Amino acid sequence: MTDPRLTEPVSARSLWIVIVVLGLIGLTTVLLTAPANTLMGPGAWAIRGALHGTCAGLFMVTSTIGLFQAYRIFAGKVWNLAELQIGSVINAAMALLTIISGNWIYIPYRTSGGPRSHFLEVAPEIHQVFFEFKEFAALFSFPLAVVAAYLLVRYGGELYERRGLSTVIAALLVLVFFYFVVTFGLGAAITKLKSV
């Protein structure tokens, strides 16, 4: 006999309410214990930096979940299709937001007296090799995440029957994570050396 707790439908609305309430509690705690201006830093471009850092942090979460989903898809383990589809769309959206906020923070990076001119003066290879590669590698995640989401949404349940399709989607999600990690690592290192 099936345990009734396992067949009881899960209320998505309740789950979202819990997430929102927890988020508000967390935000309130952070703002009360660490004022926003202290959190973001004293720089003139603090808001841009905080926004890009937040987007990248959230993208780290979604791309890591994507990596786990890739393993489950590739290994043929049981998965929840709706969870995969929604997760992949959010992953693609976070990739886009991280790129847009990255473009925004790139403006102060290139201004006179900014990190770019600093690096070119004291250690040109940091800009000419690592930053230049980072700025392009960052763009790879978005189309790959979009294609993964498109395939998951379009083909849906057919993934169970099509090994080639599920393998390709798993590979795409792994690549999204790979290009994210490369970009995030280089970005974090560059920011530690000289922030905007």
* Residue ranges binding other proteins (CB under 8 A): 103-104, 106-107, 110-111, 128-129, 132-133, 135-137, 139-140, 143-144, 146-147, 150-151, 154-155, 158, 161-162, 164-165, 167-168, 171, 175
Q: How far apart are CA 184 and CA 196, in angstroms?
A: 16
Shortest Cβ 70–other proteins spacing (Å): 14
121: which residues sit within 8 A by CB, 6+ positions away?
A: none
Shortest Cβ 108–other proteins spacing (Å): 8
Shortest Cβ 190–other proteins spacing (Å): 14
Burial 32-68 (b: 16+ CB within 10 A, else e): eeeeeeeebeeeebbebbbbbbebbebbbebbebbbe
CA dihedral of residues 180, 182, 183, 184 (deg, nearest 10): 80
Q: What is the DSSP letter of 10?
A: P
Shortest Cβ 34–other proteins spacing (Å): 30
Using the minimum distance from each CB to other proteins, give the nearer residue, 27 or 150: 150
Using the minimum distance from each CB to other proteins, give the nearer residue, 83 or 154: 154
Using the minimum distance from each CB to other proteins, give the nearer residue, 58 or 171: 171
